[in-house]
Amino acid sequence: MLRLAGKVAFITGGGTGIGRACALAFAREGAEVATAGRRKEPLEKVAREIAGAGGKSLALSCDVTQRSLVESALAQAEKHFGRVDTIVNNAGAVVVATVEHTSDADWDRVIAANLTGTFFVSRAALAPLRRAGGGSIVNIGSVLGLVARKDRAAYCAAKAGVSGLTRAMALDHAHEKIRVNCICPTLVETELGMLSIQQTANAVAEIQKRIGEIPIGRLGKPEDVAMMAVYLASEEASWVTGASFPLDGGLTAY
């Protein structure tokens, strides 16, 4: 039996990278999938991929930093599919800088995309999840929400906030059968992940350095994150809530 049969997932940042991998993985496991993001073209491409494999998908334009757009997108997803069971909060942004070299605008942008967006989507999702009889919120955080790295001040702060919000919501909504967990990857081979590498002085050297820090000896793949998200959305994880899982090839085991 498919692990997510009969479920409906709402995935932000669903057109590329981790979000796309989650959308495809959820559809393979039987879920109907609403993808949300600022760029409609990649979302529609994912929808076509899912439809081509016999699944059902809906592409929704949505900027997670805008509360009204978030609420509208979730309402559209629930109306279209009849319910929403799972949220994957994946939208994000990064800036490579210390506090001293982080502009006010960059600070606001990174906090808004990573933390405020997760807050807006999670809050708006509570009513649909209650109507579905409960469900799962899966936040895509970062290992930098658990430990720190040089030149990532705003990003560390935002992702630490996501981990804290995960724990708080898990406690507040456990009695409603709403589970909230956080996946904390290290560097994953995505557009956003490579952007942080490209902002360094020597991208090739930086990639080799980062691989050398990971005991398993490779960067993460979007599918690595997607399969953990599938687990957390499934009934297999029915006793799992309030957790932030390092997904880092052993990086934080030191």
Select which of 155, 169, 184, 233 is catalytic: 155
Q: Please say if 155 is a catalytic residue.
A: yes
Instruction: Give dist(CA 241, CA 126) in Å, integer.
Output: 15
Q: How many CA atoms lie within 13 A of 106 on its CB side?
A: 15
Task: Phi first, then psi: give them for residue 216, nearest 5 degrees.
Answer: -70, -20
Q: Hey, what are 5's tokens?
A: 């049969």
Q: Which residues of 167-195 are buried (b: 16+ CB within 10 A; e: fewer)?
A: bebbeebeeeebbbbbbbbbbbbbebbbe
Instruction: Give dist(CA 113, CA 175) in Å, integer.
Output: 29
Q: Which of 58, 67, 46, 56 is CA-nearest to residue 10?
A: 58
Using only C-alpha atoms, what is the Rg of the chain? 17
DSSP strands (E only) in 113-233: 135-140, 178-185
Q: Hey, what are 118's tokens?
A: 């997760």
On whether the CB atoms of residues 152 and 144 are closer than 8 A, the answer is yes
Q: Which residues are catalytic?
A: 155
